[in-house]
Amino acid sequence: MINYVSRFLLSAFFVISSNYATAAGKPNIIIIVADDLGYADLSIQGCKDFHTPHIDSIAKNGVRCTSGYVSGPYCSPTRAGLLTGRYQQRFGHEFNPGPAGNKSPTFGLSLDETPLPQLLKNAGYKTGMVGKWHLGHNENFHPTKRGFDEYFGFLGGANSYTSGQNIFRGTMPVQEKEYLTEAFAREAVAFVDKQKKDPFFLYLAFNAVHTPLEESPKHLFEIDKIPNKNRRTYASMVFAMDDAVGKLLAKLEKENLAENTLIFFISDNGGPEGANFSDNGPLNGVKATTWEGGIRVPFFVQWKASLPKGKTFDNPVIQLDILPTILAATGGEFSHKKKLDGVNLLQGRYRGTKKPVCCKP
């Protein structure tokens, strides 16, 4: 495991105060997770053959963490760590469950853990999830039983973008007619529209750009110039996700919510280059390995009310830090009963000590 004991925190870029909630009230919270995205598959991360202006804008309007990591090299364990702020090995969730047809009724995010949506719901937030769950199929593991007021998406680890099958609204199966990434954009925007008067938490977990390789019905002209057909398909899938993020960001702007919304963007692991034709750039290794290419991911944080614009932060951060950071940003008035392995990135401390940050940005 990576040693984070000596790393600096993002507090170098924050105005530290005892209460992070702004005069506008508690911030809205959005976590956006890409699936199997290559480290170098965003233009701000060095991608040359297509552009991702909307996802890039999160970094350009906030902080790009160049050494962002996840606590597992594949999908389900990373999500378990993300939503608990704890290493997934602590509760036996270090592996994927396998194909949907082999799903175990006992597999799921441990019922002994209190996940982020439940903590935020307890604090008065409206909570919604759109997208890939991958943390249990049985009823007791369902998103609406783990703190989400609303859910739209699929429960497994992968899904067709075009068949419209295996999709649920709440616990009810529905037939989806749109390309799935576009449907997720529609549902995310609808959730914001419905909850815009109250503090809300939206967990937008794309299955893009996980296999199967299924071309988006709309893509940039520049994609047609990519020589490799599979890479062209992949690029169109990334573009669809970027377009979806753009629609969500535009909705926040339209409703005057962008200033006081804390947004995280990560990938759940590195790209499986041979499977979906992603690109991890200079990193060695791919998804399912613990080399850099498997666990180092794009990691952006935007909070216009509190973070400066266009900064980069080069010291390591990890997806486990997202939960304690959100707890601090929302007031920190509700406690977590178990040891958190992530740290509050708003706090001017070293991990495990009370030594203040010594270096200016």
Write the DSSP string, 218-241: S--GGGGG-SSHHHHHHHHHHHHH
Distance (Å, whole) CA 230 – CA 342: 37
Residue 356 covered by a domain: no
Handedness of CA 215, 77, 269, 59 (dihedral sign): positive
Specify the pLDDT at position 98: 66
Task: Give the residue with greater pLDDT, 188 vs 101.
Answer: 188
Residue 103 covered by a domain: yes
Specify the pLDDT at position 347: 75
pTM score of the predicted model = 0.92
Residue 218 covered by a domain: yes
Specify the pLDDT at position 12: 55
For 244-302, the pLDDT digits (tens) are 999 999 999 999 999 999 999 999 999 999 999 999 999 999 999 999 999 999 999 99
Domain count, the chain: 1
For 57-79, the pLDDT digits (tens) are 999 999 999 999 999 999 999 99
Q: Average per-residue pLDDT in the chain? A: 89
Mean pLDDT across the stretch 76-83?
A: 98
Residue 195 covered by a domain: yes
For 316-346, the pLDDT digits (tens) are 999 999 999 999 999 865 566 789 999 999 8
Specify the pLDDT at position 3: 40
| CA-CA-CA-CA dihedral for 58, 61, 65, 66, to nearest 10 | 90
Say which of 47, 54, 75, 93 is annotated catalytic: 75
Residue 230 covered by a domain: yes
- Grade residue 100 by pLDDT with cuts at 50, 70 and 90: low
Which distant-in-sequence residues (6+ apart) come within 8 Å of 71 by Cβ?
77, 78, 81, 87, 88, 295, 318, 319, 320, 341
Contact between 188 and 130 under an 8 Å Cβ cutoff? The reply is yes
- Grade residue 360 by pLDDT with cuts at 50, 70 and 90: very low
For 166-186, the pLDDT digits (tens) are 999 999 999 999 999 999 999
Is 75 among the residues known to form the active site? yes
Range(s) of the domain holding residue 140: 10-329
For 128-164, the pLDDT digits (tens) are 999 999 999 999 999 999 999 999 999 999 999 999 9
pLDDT for 94 beyond 60: yes
For 211-230, the pLDDT digits (tens) are 999 999 987 788 999 999 99
| Cα atoms in the 13 Å half-sphere on the side-chain side of 255 | 20
Q: What percent of the chain has pLDDT over 70?
A: 86
Which distant-in-sequence residues (6+ apart) come within 8 Å of 155 by Cβ?
133, 134, 136, 137, 142, 166, 168
Q: Identify the CATH number of the domain in which residue 236 sits.
A: 3.40.720.10
Residue 336 covered by a domain: no
Residue 1, number of CB atoms within 10 A of its CB: 10
- What order of strands is seen across the sheet that includes strand 28-34? 172-174, 167-169, 150-154, 126-132, 200-205, 28-34, 261-267, 299-302, 63-65, 311-313
Say which of 93, 134, 210, 219 is annotated catalytic: 134
Give the C-alpha distances (Å, rounded to integers) separating 17 from 317, 324, 327: 21, 16, 14
pLDDT for 93 beyond 60: yes
Specify the pLDDT at position 105: 80
Residue 257 covered by a domain: yes
